[in-house]
């Protein structure tokens, strides 16, 4: 998390630092990314960098969390659209994320994020199951799930199924970045897995 001095900067300066960091993290893998390059692009001093962030990892995960917030905002929107039926959002969510990664200016950054799970594991990105309740964003998302639709399932079962579907989605997106030319086949296999989970969940709900 950035230090308070970062948030005291005007929005234009904040954006310049973040954009510069994304360019550097897009250019090379995380381990090779240079703080010197980031501060040159940002036109700040090295001393100023450490007034804003503790280190390179601090900056990296701040950017990741901005994407995480966008992701969960999209999930919240889809949940509201589907009247709280979380089982119905994952086909559209997968395509939404792929299109977002393909159509913005930071394709290479997102590709490196998904392919470099050594630095940013699925667990660190979405939190471990036993930490789920501690995450305010995920708790907020759960409030948009209509648990009345799943009378035969406990809250824990709903959350764990939601988490599992998220993990399958992240795995499929990572597979896409490994095989960009096979999106149609990857989407087909992904939708098949999601359908199996939906059918099993609904069967027990009846």
Q: Can you read off the two tokens belonging to residue 147?
A: 């648990």
CA distance 41 to 147: 48
CA distance 113 to 68: 12
Q: How far is CA 205 from CA 35, 50, 111, 158, 200, in A?
A: 52, 53, 38, 11, 9
pLDDT value, residue 120: 52
Q: Give 67's pLDDT tier (boundaries 50, 70, 90).
A: confident
pLDDT digits (tens, 9 = 90+) for 37-52: 999 999 999 999 999 9
pLDDT value, residue 178: 87
pLDDT value, residue 90: 96
Cβ contacts of 195-198, under 8 Å, gap ≥ 24: 197/87, 197/161, 197/164, 197/165, 197/168, 198/87
Q: Does residue 123 carry a pLDDT above 50?
A: no
Asked whether the whole model's pTM tops 0.75, one would answer yes
Q: Which of 95, 76, 71, 124 is nearest to 183 (CA)?
A: 95
What torsion do the CA atoms of 122, 79, 65, 24 make, to the nearest 10 degrees?
A: 80
Burial class from Cβ neighbours inside 10 Å (0-12, 13-18, 19+) for residue 100 reads middle
Mean pLDDT of all residues in the chain? 86
How many residues belong to the chain?
206
């Amino acid at each position: 998390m950035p230090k308070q001095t970062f948030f005291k900067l005007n929005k234009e300066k904040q954006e310049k630092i973040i954009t510069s960091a994304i360019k550097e993290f897009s250019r090379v893998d995380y381990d090779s990314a240079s703080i010197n390059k980031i501060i040159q692009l940002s036109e700040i001093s090295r001393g100023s960098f450490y007034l804003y962030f503790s280190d390179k990892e601090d900056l990296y995960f701040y950017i990741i969390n901005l994407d995480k917030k966008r992701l969960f905002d999209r999930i919240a929107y889809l949940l509201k659209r589907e009247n709280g039926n979380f089982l119905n959002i994952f086909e559209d969510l997968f395509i939404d994320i792929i299109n977002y990664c393909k159509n913005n200016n930071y394709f290479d950054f997102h590709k490196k994020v998904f392919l470099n799970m050594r630095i940013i594991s699925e667990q660190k990105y979405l939190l471990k199951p036993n930490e789920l309740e501690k995450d305010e964003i995920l708790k907020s998302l759960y409030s948009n799930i209509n648990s009345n639709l799943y009378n035969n399932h406990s809250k824990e079962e709903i959350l764990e199924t939601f988490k599992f579907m998220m993990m399958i989605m992240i795995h499929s997106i990572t597979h896409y970045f490994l095989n960009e030319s096979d999106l149609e086949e990857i989407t087909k296999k992904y939708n098949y897995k999601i359908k199996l989970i939906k059918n099993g969940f609904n069967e027990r709900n009846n």
